Structure 1
Amino acid sequence: MVDTEINSIVCGTCERVIKAGVKRCSYCLTDIRAVEPLSGDDAVLAQMHRARVVRRNSRRRLAIKSFQITCGFLLLFVCMFWTYATFISSAGTLPISTTNLSGRLSADTGWENSDGGSGRLRRSLYGSRIEQPIAWQTQLPANAETSLVADSQHLYVSLSNGLLIAYSQLDGSEIWRKQFEDFLLAAPLAVEKMLIVPSANGILYALDSSNGNELWSVQAGNLLESTPLIYDGRIYLFGKDTWYVLDAGNGEKLWQKDMDTVVHKSGRRFESPVMNDHYIAVGLGQKLLIFDRLTGEQTYWYNSVSFPTKIAIDNDEVISISPWLIFSVDEDSQNPWWEGRLRSLWLQLYVWGVAPPTPLPDRLWGNFNPPRLYFAPAVGSDSIYVAGERGSRLSTDALLQSYNRKDGSINWKKTIPQITSAPLITSDGLLIAAGPMLVLLDPESGEEIQLLDYKENVSSPISIESGTYYIVGGKNIQALK
């Protein structure tokens, strides 16, 4: 009921209607002696207006309270989900394969991929043998398309015409050859008695390394341009924005992971995959990505500004080289919870002057401007050696640099007229193909120890238990014993 009392007063502070004749508002204690009283219809209208205001405010308080409760539940859900995903949940391991074939982190009796082993360290337990005479040489029917790889008995080379040939390490005689329908853009993987061959048309082949007979083949993607990795019978194969895990025993696809192209914005292939007992590291777009080997879950990423194309992993350390930066990260590194899209927002707020600078992603060290058009690094226990076809954008000479593994500082640099292959660490020095010359350098100083001149460009030197092998003029394999 609306109070129709004559001679009412409307409080100017709380707008409540009270009886005239009092000194203070009974609701808010405001002094109302100077307020003119209302009478008749004016008092009734004031009372009705106050009732509407009360109802409106009540509805507003109810809506605000409901919104606060909803936001509270939403925040609680997000916090619980983040806590579970970060500290409690664990991804299941990848399916088990039918075999236990595994590769090696670095070279031993063989040279299983273009850089020696799954760590791509380019270091050998054996000497360069550069002082020895040529033991044998054999002519290739076409130019070599990829680097030499080897197991304990044979050398393997892919040619520009799609031909794959196996040669004896003993005397260079041909053991077998196999013609493929498409180009072989990546070196095969030689492991125990199996040769795994990626082809440009997306088919992955497994061959018997003793005779070249096909064991199995599988269509794994549209284009395969990198050598796969293998561990515990699982083949890790990298295509374009997708990577696969296959059973080395029969080629069955056990698992695949499609990368988030919205986040990585790459539209590119994976670059230089490497692996150790625990992790896989690979370049994609402008990022170095690290994955758990057993679960396939991504554990870390680092934005290197430009495309990381050469990567190595050794002693819990991942080394990555891009055109503008060489850097090192701990394999166990983790991105903070706000990494990703929030970093971009934080950076924008910093540009506007309303936020502090964004912290750099976790890394051990970094050094800008490695040699241009660089080859794969050779990773020693204390130093990293990086060679490039040019020292800088304005230089015509090639450059070889040694970096300290502790802090990334440059130990020494050496200008060479021409470099035609990645450096190789041997037991007696640093071996590098310098145009028509095979050169052995002192790894501590870069000083020349010995040199062989072949008149034609030398490439793909490898050093294994049975000998040192390299290609001269693109079509001639030579051996030092």
Structure 2
Amino acid sequence: MIATRFPHTLRLTLGAGVLALLAGCASKGEPLYTPKELTDIDATSSLDTRWDTGIGDGLGRARYPITPARDGARLFAADAEGLVVALNAKSGERNWEIDLESPVSSGLSAIDGQVYLGTRNGEVVALDQQDGSEQWRARVSSEVLAAPQANRELLIVQSTDGQITALDRQSGDARWTYKSSLPSLTLRGTGTPQTIDPVTFAGFANGRLVTLDNRTGQPLWQQQVAIPQGRSEVDRLVDLTGQPLLTQDGRLYVTSYNGRLLALEATRGKLMWERELSSRHTPLLVGDYLFVVADDSHVVALDAQSGDPLWQNDKLEGRWLTAPAFADGRIVVGDFEGYLHLLDARDGQLVGRTRVDRSGLSVTPVTEGGTIHVLANDGTLETLDVSP
């Protein structure tokens, strides 16, 4: 458990493991979801290692969500102590590495020749993709766990105190800020904003989704995705820790802890459909299939238009799965024991598995076609190819 002090209040944040233990207290000390043992599968897909390397000290004892990022032929990764590395995504050759001399805490974003990341000290750093040179460094209100998100002009940063800061992408100067109210107890982590040129969609630990005007930072509409219920503060956790998923035709999918999965009409927030489904992860859309990893580590596929269930796989229950990724017809998830699993996207059957590293996998795999990049908790970075 991590305690962070803010003016006039004390807010506690719970990591996933602590949350499981607390939730289990109401059931004779049993964990909320006992991890299922892995059983043999009829593997029809293979995972072949192309290259692997080490990225410093990895994600640290707190397992910061330092997800790598790929932009074209380059893959960017970092460790919790401030090492940032650029690699050739195909060969694993190191193009450059630098030491930020600041502890990294967020996932990476790579776009239009720059790499963006956040630190435990409440800094946001922009690096040049070509050589790693620092372009600018800006200060926000608190620690940054969510990967900064860019549109053409702005870099949108969500910090752990519930504040959204819009920075100028070229200079790092602050354009506007928006502050939400937070409950006294939250999950460790923050939602990742989704931004396009006109607006930003942001979810908060109070269960609310807010749409902000990118010209001013003023809210345009709000939606209560999850409503706190229950007697204990743990029962009343309703954090939106995933990223809202926006489609090209204007649909918005939002997950919540202890709450609902919503499909909204993005311009006004009109509800299209809803399902009772608790998830801390960002959903994945492939065609008309919407994939969600629930908090019990069931992998669920729904019809994106109607919300009707298509399939559900519970064979990885309790294994603390990562958010899902997609690679050449397969859903890709990692687990707490370091296994990488492949599920057939059409029917949910497990079709492949390999162990990357015993330290475990907690950040989302990065995929490009049939290639998977996965960073283990201890900093092992492995690139695998899916076949056939």
Is this contact kept in 2: 1:270–1:282, CA < 8 A? no
Q: For residues 199-218 of structure 1, what are the structure 2 equivalents within 5 Å?
A: 199-218=119-138
**Higher normalized strand content (fraction of residues):** 2
1:307 equivalent in structure 2: 239
Pairing partner for 2:172 from 248, 251, 256:
251
User: d(CA) in 2 for partners of 1:257 and 1:448?
Assistant: 44
Three-state SS of the structure 2 residue aligned to 1:271 is: coil
Pairing partner for 1:381 from 287, 290, 303:
287
Three-state SS of the structure 1 residue aligned to 2:314 is: strand
1:260 deviates by: 6.1
Q: For residues 150-165 of structure 1, what are the structure 2 equivalents within 5 Å?
A: 150-165=70-85
Pairing partner for 2:52 from 137, 140, 143:
137
2:278 equivalent in structure 1: 370
Is this contact kept in 1: 2:47–2:353, CA < 8 A? no
Is this contact kept in 2: 1:237–1:243, CA < 8 A? yes
Q: In structure 2, do the counterparts of structure 1 residues 260 and 248 end up closer, same or farther at CA, with 3 Å as the change threshold? A: closer
1:161 deviates by: 2.2
Q: Deviations over 1:374-423 (max 9, x none)?
A: 43221223222111452xxxxxxx31111222232322211133253211
User: d(CA) in 2 for partners of 1:207 and 1:248?
Assistant: 11
1:443 deviates by: 1.6
* Paired-residue identity, %: 16
Pairing partner for 1:322 from 247, 250, 256:
256
TM-score (norm 2): 0.72
2:268 equivalent in structure 1: 333
User: d(CA) in 2 for partners of 1:152 and 1:200?
Assistant: 28
Is this contact kept in 2: 1:154–1:168, CA < 8 A? yes
Q: Deviations over 1:129-185 (max 9, x none)?
A: 963632211123312341121122322222132322222223223332222343211
The alignment status of 1:461 with 2:360, answered yes or no, reads no
Is this contact kept in 2: 1:203–1:219, CA < 8 A? yes
1:298 equivalent in structure 2: 219
1:246 deviates by: 2.0
Q: Which amino acid aligns with 1:230?
A: A
For structure 2, the residue ranges without an aligned partner over 5 or more in a row are 1-43, 228-237
1:331 deviates by: 0.7
Q: For residues 165-180 of structure 1, what are the structure 2 equivalents within 5 Å?
A: 165-180=85-100
Q: In structure 2, do the counterparts of structure 1 residues 143 and 210 end up closer, same or farther at CA, with 3 Å as the change threshold? A: same
Larger radius of gyration: 1
Q: For residues 413-428 of structure 1, what are the structure 2 equivalents within 5 Å?
A: 413-417=312-316, 418-428=319-329
2:352 equivalent in structure 1: 450
2:330 equivalent in structure 1: 429
2:17 equivalent in structure 1: none
User: d(CA) in 2 for partners of 1:260 and 1:430?
Assistant: 34
TM-score (norm 1): 0.59
Q: Deviations over 1:186-207 (max 9, x none)?
A: 1122112211221121222111
Q: Which amino acid aligns with 1:297?
A: Q
Q: For residues 48-447 of structure 1, what are the structure 2 equivalents within 5 Å?
A: 131=46, 133-144=48-59, 145=64, 146-239=66-159, 240-253=161-174, 255-259=175-179, 261=181, 271-284=191-204, 285-303=206-224, 304-305=226-227, 306-310=238-242, 311-314=244-247, 315-323=249-257, 324-333=259-268, 362-370=270-278, 374-388=280-294, 390=296, 398-417=297-316, 418-434=319-335, 435-447=337-349
Q: In structure 2, do the counterparts of structure 1 residues 453 and 201 end up closer, same or farther at CA, with 3 Å as the change threshold? A: closer
Q: In structure 2, do the counterparts of structure 1 residues 242 and 471 end up closer, same or farther at CA, with 3 Å as the change threshold? A: closer
User: d(CA) in 2 for partners of 1:139 and 1:297?
Assistant: 43
**Higher normalized helix content (fraction of residues):** 1
User: d(CA) in 1 for partners of 2:191 and 2:353?
Assistant: 33
**Which moved further from structure 2: 433-442 or 134-143?**
433-442
Q: Which amino acid aligns with 1:205?
A: V
1:433 deviates by: 2.2
Q: Which amino acid aligns with 1:317?
A: R
Is this contact kept in 1: 2:338–2:355, CA < 8 A? yes
User: d(CA) in 1 for partners of 2:369 and 2:343?
Assistant: 21
Three-state SS of the structure 1 residue aligned to 2:255 is: strand
User: d(CA) in 2 for partners of 1:211 and 1:407?
Assistant: 47
Q: In structure 2, do the counterparts of structure 1 residues 270 and 295 end up closer, same or farther at CA, with 3 Å as the change threshold? A: farther
1:479 equivalent in structure 2: 383
Q: Which amino acid aligns with 1:185?
A: S
User: d(CA) in 1 for partners of 2:197 and 2:266?
Assistant: 11
For structure 1, the residue ranges without an aligned partner over 5 or more in a row are 1-128, 335-361, 391-397
